[in-house]
Amino acid sequence: MPPGKNWTMEDFRLDPSRPLYEQFTEQIRTMIAKGELEPGTRLPSVRETASSLRVNPTTVMKTYQELERQALLVTYRGQGTFVTREEAAIDRSRKELARTAVNQLKETAKSLGLTPEQLWALALEE
Amino acid sequence: MPPGKNWTMEDFRLDPSRPLYEQFTEQIRTMIAKGELEPGTRLPSVRETASSLRVNPTTVMKTYQELERQALLVTYRGQGTFVTREEAAIDRSRKELARTAVNQLKETAKSLGLTPEQLWALALEE
Amino acid sequence: MPPGKNWTMEDFRLDPSRPLYEQFTEQIRTMIAKGELEPGTRLPSVRETASSLRVNPTTVMKTYQELERQALLVTYRGQGTFVTREEAAIDRSRKELARTAVNQLKETAKSLGLTPEQLWALALEE
Amino acid sequence: MPPGKNWTMEDFRLDPSRPLYEQFTEQIRTMIAKGELEPGTRLPSVRETASSLRVNPTTVMKTYQELERQALLVTYRGQGTFVTREEAAIDRSRKELARTAVNQLKETAKSLGLTPEQLWALALEE
DNA sequence: GTGGTCTAGACCACC
DNA sequence: GTGGTCTAGACCACA
């Protein structure tokens, strides 16, 4: 998303059966982790976002608040919400995403009595 | 679980913030996939399970019915619910579990612009 | 089934999710309608049938009683249960089976706003 | 049912001897297949439906969830339940209804040793 | 407001 | 005894 532009519905892949704010949170988080949203970028306002995504403003608020809690966003009163300039926070987020994914795979492997390698092989079978 | 025995609370690890029936479903599913519950084994009845796990009968039913839809359980009218003897269904389930785990990892890697190997390395850092 | 022989499990296609007695009734009924079980044939006794099919005797009883109600079987006390010699009853049964099948198709067609011919064509598409 | 209106008891033909949720499922399914309920239409809420049909909310939920599993309905959290906009799913459903009806007739014909045409003729006799 | 989960308990058909 | 359906009503998260 170029600076100054607004989100569009195509920026997100939404599954109606899961909480919207959760999906927005995850997807913005990975945009930041990947670098698509650069440090210091100003995000569209809650109201703008809500209307462009045709979503309830409280849903957007919840999203931004959650990402603030994770120290990935910072809000300056009266100016808006920005991607943090603390690269450490972003790094931490990247690692956490990676660890979660890897741990889930390890867990699944363990619960089936397999090593991660065996699980990987099983997934590729046939 | 040896045949003829009932579940106990220790058989399941429960997270109060997620639907119970979903957790039961997942955990029984992995027991079957792992072979802990052998084909043909009779599961404790809905009522027995409900009382031993201190849970409502309908919650147990929802669990059993969901597993039946996945073809992992078979119900014989008036007799009870059994682990399927169709080993193919069990195999399919094992592979599906493996694939889901692997795909999620691949997805996460891709969304961060990494290869699965790079993601794995990142998770192990520090 | 040759006279004097007993049923085996292969004589019936059973779906565990539907009442057994209902399935036995239907299938014996069509055997009679088709002529596989000829008028006057003696059916295996309730006890024999129950044990050879590994089924509860009451299930078999219910089956035979239902078929007696439909006048397809007659029981002579102390001698056993036989396929009726009243060909009229068998004919009626054949026609009823045919009518039920045809009416169901007509119903479905009507509920979709189609003629039976259109429904048939739709089923064959692609 | 025009949009914004609620169901009434006249919208459904109910047979007290069969599960209600099953009958609701079938009948809503054919309304969708027939086009009476257009893609995107919002269904009356679970509670509204429950009270207008004098039925328990969970019975309605079961109905809606079953239709969701068949991909004929979509639920948006906090907003309601809608007829899917995926016309392909609706087409598939129409064909499945047609095929089931036709196959049953073919099965019956076969089990009586007749062709479908002969069966049809038999049903019309007398 | 919406749907989703869960409880407590009745009643039924089937085996 | 078994599972299956239904009711009445509470509580929750989401929008």
The partner residue sitting opposite D34, judged by closest CB among C104, C111, C123, is C111
A21 CA to E1 C1' distance (Å)? 18
- pLDDT for position B6: 86
Share of chain B above pLDDT 70, in %: 97
- pLDDT for position C126: 78
> CB A34 to CB B113 under 8 A?
yes
Average pLDDT, chain D: 94
- pLDDT for position C95: 94
> How is the beta sheet containing A73-76 ordered, strand by strand?
A42-43, A80-83, A73-76
Q: How far is A104 from chain B (nearest CA, A)?
A: 7
**Partners of residue C16 in chain B, C-beta under 8 Å:** 74-77
- pLDDT for position C5: 74
Query: With contact defined as beta carbons under 8 Å apart, do A12 and A27 qualify?
Result: yes
Topology of the domain comprising D9-124: Arc Repressor Mutant, subunit A (1.10.10)
- Three-class secondary structure assignment of chain D: CCCCCCCCHHHCCCCCCCCHHHHHHHHHHHHHHHCCCCCCCECCCHHHHHHHCCCCHHHHHHHHHHHHHCCCEEEECCCEEEECCCHHHHHHHHHHHHHHHHHHHHHHHHHCCCCHHHHHHHHHCC
Question: Which chains have 3+ CB pairs within 8 A of C?
Answer: B, D
Q: Which residues pair with A80 in a beta bridge?
A: A76
D60 Cβ nearer than 7 Å to chain F strand? no
Query: With contact defined as beta carbons under 8 Å apart, do C28 and C37 qualify?
Result: yes
- Listed by start position, the domains of chain A span 9-124
A110 touches chain B (CB under 8 A): no
Judge whether residue C53 has pLDDT over 60: yes
Structural tokens at position A93: 């987020």
Each residue's pLDDT tens digit, C9-31: 889 999 999 999 999 999 999 99
Q: Number of Cβ pairs closer than 8 Å across A and B? A: 77
Going by beta carbons, is chain C in contact with chain A, meaning 3 or more pairs sit under 8 Å apart?
Answer: no
Average pLDDT, chain C: 93
A47 touches chain B (CB under 8 A): no
For residue A20, the surrounding DSSP H or E stretch is: helix A20-34
- CA trace torsion C31, C36, C42, C48 (10° rounding): -60
Average pLDDT, chain A: 93
In this prediction, residues C77-84 reach a mean pLDDT of 93
C94 vs D122: CA distance, rounded Å: 8
- pLDDT for position C116: 97
Determine the angle formed by the axes of helices C87-111 and C116-124, rounding to 10 degrees. Answer: 80
B111 vs A33: CA distance, rounded Å: 9
> CB B76 to CB C16 under 8 A?
yes
A35 touches chain B (CB under 8 A): yes
Judge whether residue A86 has pLDDT over 70: yes
pLDDT band at A2 (very low <50, low <70, confident <90, very high): low
**Partners of residue D33 in chain C, C-beta under 8 Å:** 112
Contacts by D31-36, CB closer than 8 A, 24 or more apart: D31/D1, D32/D72, D32/D83, D32/D90, D32/D93, D33/C112, D33/D90, D33/D93, D33/D94, D33/D97, D34/C111, D34/C112, D34/C113, D35/C113, D36/D1
Each residue's pLDDT tens digit, B29-70: 999 999 999 999 999 999 999 999 999 999 999 999 999 999
Give the pTM: 0.93
Print burial letters for B79-118: b (CB count within 10 Å at least 16), e (below 16): eebbbbeeeebbeebbbebbeebbeebeebbebbebebee
Location of structure tokens 């009270």? D51
pLDDT band at A111 (very low <50, low <70, confident <90, very high): very high
- How would you write the pLDDT of chain D (126 residues) with one tens digit per residue? 655 678 998 999 999 999 999 999 999 999 999 999 999 999 999 999 999 999 999 999 999 999 999 999 999 999 999 999 999 999 999 999 999 999 999 999 999 999 999 999 999 987
A21 Cβ nearer than 7 Å to chain F strand? yes
Q: How far is D48 from chain A (nearest CA, A)?
A: 21
A35 touches chain D (CB under 8 A): no
Q: How far is D75 from chain A (nearest CA, A)?
A: 7
Print burial letters for A21-32: b (CB count within 10 Å at least 16), e (below 16): bebbbbbbbbbb
Q: How far is B33 from chain A (nearest CA, A)?
A: 7
Q: Which of residues 12-51 of D touch strand F (CB under 7 A)?
A: 19-22
Going by beta carbons, is chain A in contact with chain B, meaning 3 or more pairs sit under 8 Å apart?
Answer: yes
> CB D123 to CB C101 under 8 A?
yes
- pLDDT for position A1: 56
Location of structure tokens 């979503």? A55
pLDDT band at A37 (very low <50, low <70, confident <90, very high): very high
Give chain E positions with protein CB within 7 A: 1-10, 13-15
> CB B95 to CB A35 under 8 A?
no
Judge whether residue A3 has pLDDT over 70: no
Q: What values do phi and psi take at D56, rounded to 5?
A: -70, 140
